[in-house]
Amino acid sequence: MSFGFTEEQIKRYSRHIILPEVGGVGQQKLLNAKVLVIGAGGLGSPSIYYLAAAGVGTIGIVDFDVVDFSNLQRQILHNTSRVGVPKVESAKMTVEALNPDVKVIAYNEKITKENVMDIVKDFDIVLDGSDNFPTRFLVNDACYMLGKPLVSAAILRFEGQLTVFDYRNKESSPCYRCLIPEPPPPGLVPSCQEAGLLGVVGGIMGTLQANEALKLILGIGEPLIGKLLVFDALKTEFRTVKFRKNPKCELCGENPTIKELIEYDQACEVRF
Amino acid sequence: MQVDRELDLKGEVCPFTFVKSKLIIEQMEKGQILKVILDYKPSVENVPKSMEMEGQEVLAVNQIADNLWEVLVRKVK
C-alpha cells in the first residue's frame, strides 16, 4: 500500500503514523535512518531496543565485550542464556526478534583511532553509551570531524546526564570538549570497583537518548543542544544546565589545536 | 464532485481505517479529494474527527447502504 508499507508495517507503526508530527512521511524517515550506538550496555540496551521498536532501519552497534552475569541487572538487551556471548551478537538477536525491519550492523571490536572514522562515517546520528573516557573522546572527535550529531549520555550511582552535540552546525553547537576539555586524571574518578549504579538509571537515560535521536531523525521538537540534562534518581528530579561554546576549546574554539584523533590511555575508568 | 482517490476499507476497524486513510492523503496533492468507504460504524465518526484534527476538510459523510458509509475528505495541508 502507500509508501510501500506492508500490512504488518502499517499495524506495527500505526501509533507513530497517527501522530501528526510523524505520519507515513516520518515513519519512512525512521526506516531510512542509520543510527550508530556505542556500547550495548546499560545505556545502549534501552536506546537500541526503542530505536529498533520505532523502526530505525539500520542500527550499528559497537561493543567488544561479552555478556556477563553482572550486566543483567540493567542491560535489558541480554539475558541469562546469553552469558558468554558477544554483546553485539546478543543485541542483534534481541533486535531481530523484535523487529525484522531493522538491519543490525555489529562491530565486535574496540573503538580505536584507526577504526573510529570508518565506523562512524556511514551513519546519520551517533549515540554514545560507552563506559570510558578514551572512547568518549575518540567518538566525540570523530563525530565533530565528520559533522555527525552526537547524543551523549552517562550514568553513575543514582545520577544520569544527557546532552546533544549537533556537529551539522559546528558554528552554533558546543562540543563535548567545551564541557570536558580532556579526560580527568586517574584517581579523580572512582575506580571500576567503586562505581555502583542503580540499573534503572541506565533505562531512563538510554531511553532519553533514543528520544533525542528520534527527534533529530524526524526534525521535530527541540533537541537538547547546549543544554545538559541532569537526572537525580533519589530525588526524582531533572535539572537542565545551559552551556555555551568555549571560545578557547581546543577542538571547536577560535584557535583549535586538535586536528587529528587522540587516543588517551585506558586507565581504570569509571564503569558508567 | 470529482473524487481523486478512492479507498475501500470494508472489513477494517479503528484505528487502521484512519491510519490507512492518512497514508493515502499524505501522498495526495493539496485540494484533491479522497473518498473512503467504511463498514465499521465507529470509524464513521472517528475517521472524519481525526481528519479534521489533522487539519483536513471533511466534505461529507453519507450512508450509502445498510452498514456502508462513504467519507469525503479534501486535502488542505
At A43-93, the pLDDT tens digits run: 999 999 999 999 999 999 999 999 999 999 999 999 999 999 999 999 999
At A250-269, the pLDDT tens digits run: 999 999 999 999 999 866 54
3-state secondary structure (DSSP) of residue B57:
strand
What pLDDT, on the 0 to 100 scale, is given for residue A194?
Answer: 63
Residue A229 one-letter amino acid = L
Average pLDDT, chain A: 94
> Which residues of chain B are at the A interface, by a Cβ-Cβ cutoff of 8 Å?
15-16, 18-20, 22-24, 26-27, 50, 53-54
At A191-202, the pLDDT tens digits run: 555 689 999 999
User: CA A35 to CA A125: how far, in whole Å?
Assistant: 5
What pLDDT, on the 0 to 100 scale, is given for residue A37?
Answer: 98
Number of domains in chain B: 1
What pLDDT, on the 0 to 100 scale, is given for residue A190?
Answer: 66
What pLDDT, on the 0 to 100 scale, is given for residue A192?
Answer: 55
What pLDDT, on the 0 to 100 scale, is given for residue A106?
Answer: 98
What pLDDT, on the 0 to 100 scale, is given for residue A265?
Answer: 83
Q: What are phi and psi of A60, to 5 degrees?
A: -90, 140
CA atoms within 13 A on the CB side of A190: 12
What pLDDT, on the 0 to 100 scale, is given for residue A271?
Answer: 45
User: CA B59 to CA B62: how far, in whole Å?
Assistant: 10
User: CA A222 to CA B38: how far, in whole Å?
Assistant: 38
Q: Counting one residue from A and one from B, how many pairs have CB atoms under 8 Å apart?
A: 37
At B49-76, the pLDDT tens digits run: 999 999 999 999 999 999 999 999 999 9
**Would you say A38 and A139 are in contact if contact means Cβ atoms under 8 Å apart?**
yes
Residue B19's domain comprises 5-74
Provide, as residue numbers in chain A, all residues whose Cβ is less than 8 Å from the Cβ of B15: 14, 18
At B11-58, the pLDDT tens digits run: 999 999 999 999 999 999 999 999 999 999 999 999 999 999 999 999
**Would you say A43 and A19 are in contact if contact means Cβ atoms under 8 Å apart?**
no
* pTM for the structure as a whole: 0.94
Listed residue (B12, B50, B9, B59) closest to B31, CA to CA: B59
**Would you say A242 and A226 are in contact if contact means Cβ atoms under 8 Å apart?**
yes
Residue A97, pLDDT > 60, answer yes
**Partner-chain contact A18 B24, CB within 8 Å:** no
**Partner-chain contact A1 B54, CB within 8 Å:** no
User: CA A248 to CA A255: how far, in whole Å?
Assistant: 7
> What CATH number corresponds to the domain at position B55?
3.30.110.40
**Per-residue pLDDT averaged across A219-240, rounded?**
98
One DSSP character per residue, A204-265 reads HHHHHHHHHHHHHHHT-S---BTEEEEEETTTTEEEEEE----TT-TTTSSS----S-----
What pLDDT, on the 0 to 100 scale, is given for residue B17?
Answer: 97
Grid coordinates of A117? 572514522
Give the sheet arrangement for strand A237-242, strand by strand: A103-107, A58-62, A34-38, A125-128, A150-156, A159-165, A227-232, A237-242
- pLDDT-derived band at A21 (thresholds 50, 70, 90) equals very high
Provide, as residue numbers in chain A, all residues whose Cβ is less than 8 Å from the Cβ of B8: none
Residue A1, pLDDT > 60, answer no
Q: What are phi and psi of A56, to 5 degrees?
A: -65, 120
